[in-house]
Amino acid sequence: MQVLQVQLEVGPDPAEVGRARRWARSWLAGSGIRLDEPLAETLILLISELVTNAVVHTGCPAVLRMLGAGTGTVRVEVADFSACPPAPRHARGEDTSGRGLELVDGLADRWGWQPEGAGKRIWCEVDGGAPAVARGAYEPGVCEPSCAVTNRM
């Protein structure tokens, strides 16, 4: 099985989310996934949510990785310098934030997180077909963001 992995370093600036989306679109197009396919649209939304969470909630740099396998599954990983586990928020009515992990849970076929070095890696996978409703893998909790910007992943 052939696996293609690419990665992009993302700075701690919300403008980096748009750069990550553009980079991912380029990778998807180069890997033969048409940008108007539901798979591509789902992956771009997942990337946007995971990178936004890393940048906004940690204030730290992050690394976006995309892995494509010959099986048609695409894996997205975002590693950051915060050891705090992802904590779902429950948005209400007109709230403009707080739905990111709910979106990931609903769009990804599988997702989870694990410690990585001094931080963590959040990942999700989408199979080549239509996205399925997945079971989430998070632990609620309160954690203050912290990062050592001098560290490199």
Helix H or strand E segment including 115:
strand 110-116
pLDDT digits (tens, 9 = 90+) for 55-67: 988 888 999 999 8
In sequence order, what DSSP letters do the residues of 7-24 get, joined into one string?
EEEE-SSTTHHHHHHHHH
The reply to whether the predicted model has a pTM over 0.85 is no
What pLDDT score does 1 carry? 41
pLDDT band at 99 (very low <50, low <70, confident <90, very high): confident
Strand boundaries in the chain, DSSP class E: 3-10, 62-69, 74-80, 110-116, 119-126
**What distance in Å separates the CA atoms of residue 127 and residue 83, rounded to the nearest whole number?**
28
Domains of the chain from N-terminus onward:
3-126 (3.30.565.10)
Place of tokens 């079971």: 135
